[in-house]
Structure 1
Amino acid sequence: MPTHLPLFIGTTWLLAMLPGAGQALMLRQTLHGGPRAAWASIAGTCTGLLAWTVAAAAGLSAVLLANPHAYQALRVAGGVVLAVLGLSTLRSVRRRPAFDPSPSAGVRTTGYWGAYTAGLATNLGNPKAGVFAISLLPQFVTHDGPVFASSVALGALWALVTAAWYVVFTWTVNRGRTLVSKPAVHRGLQLLTGGTLLCLGAAVALGG
C-alpha cells in the first residue's frame, strides 16, 4: 500500500465532514424523505465525485473552469437545485402540524431517482469539487503506473470515504429522531435546514 494512502483517506474524511451543501442536503433528505432518500442522495453524491475525478484525470475540468460560460451555467444549475430543495423544506414546515419520532411515521416517501438526482446535481453543480479534484488528487497519484488509472482509483476511494461519513452522519440523525420529537424543535430544525439550503443555493448561483 502506498505510504500516502492513509493521509489521503484522512484528508478526504475531514473534507467530507466540513459543513456545507452536502451536509445540509443529507440532513434534509433524512428528516424529510427518510433513510431511503438519504442513501440515494449519497449514491448521487458519490457518482458526482467520480465524474469530477474522471473529468480532472482527462483534463476536462480545466477546460470547464477555463470557460466562464460553462462554469457559470453549471454553477447556476447547482444553486437552483439547492434553492428548490430549501424552499420545499420550508413549505413542508407549514404542511406538517406535528412530528412523530418513529422512523417511518411522518416521513414522506421520496422516489429513489429523485433523491439520487438531487445528490448528483448538488455535487456536479459545485465546481469547487472540480477544483479540489484538480489540486488534490495529483499530489497523491503514484507515477509507478498509469496516471489516469491511479487518479480514477483515488477518486473511487474519495467517493467511498465520503459515502462512509455520510452513512454515519445520516444514521446518527435518524437514530436521534426522538431528540427532535417536540414539534417546536422539529419545526426549528426544518426551518434551519431549509434556510441553509436556500442561502447556499443563492451563494452557489451567485458565485459566492
Structure 2
Amino acid sequence: MTSFGITNFGLFLMAVLLLNATPGPDTAYIVGRSVAQGRRAGLMSALGITVGCCIHATLSAFGLTALLAASATAFMAVKLAGGAYLVYLGIKMLFSKQAPSTENREALDLRSHKTIFVQALITNVLNPKVILFFLSFFPQFVNHDSPHKIVAFLFLGAVFATMSLCWNSGTAMLAGTLTRHASNNPHVKQWLERTVGAAFIALGIKLATTRN
C-alpha cells in the first residue's frame, strides 16, 4: 500500500466498517425500498448506491469533487437537484396504484429493477453530503506528496465500494425478509409504499434545506 502512498490502511478499513454500521440516508433509502418493494428492490438499490460511490471516488481522484465543492452555485444546484429528485420519488410512491396481480407482478418487477437501480444511483450521485464525505475522508489516508494519488484514491474507492455493497446488501436482505410476509398482502404493500414515499419526501426536503 505504501507504494501508492496509502497510509493507515487498517484504520481506513475500521473507519469504513463503522461508517457502514452507522445509519444514514443511503441506509434509510435501501431499507425503505426493501420494506416497500421487497429484497430484490433493496439489492438493486444497494448496487445503484455502490456504483454512485464509485463515481464519487473517481471524481475525487481527479480533483473534480473539490472543484464542485468550491463552487457555491454548483454545490447549491446539486443539493437542490438531489432533494427535488428524492421528493419526486416519494410522490410517485405516495400516489402509487394498487399492486398488480401475482401473475403480472413478476414481469413488472423485471422491468422495474433497472429503474430502481438508476434511481438509487442518481440519489447517491446528487447527494452533496456524499460529495463532501469523499472530499474530506479519503485524503486522510493518502500522502500529499505521493506521485500515485489517483491510483491510491481509486483503490480506496474500490475497497470502500466493496465493503459498502456487502453491508448494504445484507441490510436489504434482512429488511426485505422481515417484511416479506406482510408485503405479500397487496393492501399492506401499498400502505408500506406510501409510508416509505412520505419518508423519501421528508429526506428530500431535509437535504435541500440543509445549510452548506
User: Into which bin does the TM-score normalised by the smaller protein fall?
Assistant: 0.7 to 0.9
CA apart distance, 1:172: 0.4
**Partner Cα distance (2:106, 2:32) in 1:** 14
**Partner Cα distance (1:111, 1:191) in 2:** 17
Task: Choose which of 10, 19, 23 in structure 2 pairs with 1:6.
Answer: 10
For structure 1, the 5+ residue unaligned runs are: none
Q: In structure 2, what is the equivalent of residue 79 of structure 1?
A: 83
Task: Choose which of 62, 86, 93 in structure 1 pairs with 2:66.
Answer: 62
**Partner Cα distance (1:182, 1:21) in 2:** 26
**Partner Cα distance (1:176, 1:114) in 2:** 24
Q: How many residues align?
A: 203
Contact 1:52 1:133 in 2 (8 A): yes
**Partner Cα distance (1:83, 1:189) in 2:** 17
**Partner Cα distance (1:132, 1:12) in 2:** 12
- The TM-score, its normalising length taken from structure 2, stands at 0.79
Q: In structure 1, what is the equivalent of residue 118 of structure 2?
A: 117
* CA gap 1:6/1:189 in 2 versus in 1, 3 angstroms: farther
**Partner Cα distance (2:133, 2:122) in 1:** 17
Task: Choose which of 166, 169, 186 in structure 2 pairs with 1:167.
Answer: 169
Which residue identity lines up with residue 68 of structure 1 in the other structure? A
| Alignment of structure 1 residues 85-164 onto 2, 5 Å | 85-92=89-96, 95=98, 109=109, 110-142=111-143, 146-164=148-166
| Alignment of structure 1 residues 173-192 onto 2, 5 Å | 173-178=175-180, 180=182, 189-192=192-195
**Partner Cα distance (1:178, 1:119) in 2:** 21
* CA gap 1:125/1:158 in 2 versus in 1, 3 angstroms: same
CA apart distance, 1:91: 2.2
For structure 2, the 5+ residue unaligned runs are: none
What do residues 77-117 of structure 1 show as CA deviations (whole Å, max 9, x unaligned)?
Answer: 2112211222222224x7359xx9xxx97996152331121
